[in-house]
């Protein structure tokens, strides 16, 4: 998909789900969640663009070279909880 191109031009959801525009926002969000969950069950079937693959390779290289960088979750929680209210 190029900049400015809508998803609808590549995939017409109304063709597959004719009443999608009649659904409430909450119903559409639930549908979106169900679709996302179904995709995440088989990530190997979700293709990556060459740019995404390159970025993942770069991050893996950095991780292998530098080791994990960041703050452990327990430390983040401790910092948040120790802030004055």
User: Residues 8-45: pLDDT tens digits?
Assistant: 456 777 777 878 888 899 999 999 999 999 988 988 88
Q: What's the rounded Cα separation, in Å, for the pair 58 and 54? A: 6
Q: What's the rounded Cα separation, in Å, for the pair 75 and 59? A: 23
Residue 20 is assigned to a structural domain of this protein: yes
Residue 54 is assigned to a structural domain of this protein: yes
Residue 1 is assigned to a structural domain of this protein: no
Which pTM value belongs to this model?
Answer: 0.45
Q: What's the rounded Cα separation, in Å, for the pair 60 and 54? A: 10
**What is the number of structural domains in the chain?**
1
Residue 68 belongs to domain spanning: 7-82
Residue 45 is assigned to a structural domain of this protein: yes
């Amino acid at each position: 998909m190029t900049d400015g191109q809508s998803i609808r031009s590549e995939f017409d959801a109304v063709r597959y789900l004719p009443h999608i525009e009649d659904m409430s926002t909450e119903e559409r969000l639930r549908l979106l969640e169900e679709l996302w969950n179904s995709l995440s069950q088989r990530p190997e079937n979700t293709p990556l663009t060459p740019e995404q693959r390159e970025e993942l390779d770069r991050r893996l290289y950095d991780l292998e070279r530098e080791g994990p960088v960041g703050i452990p979750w327990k430390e983040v929680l401790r910092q948040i909880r120790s802030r004055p209210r």
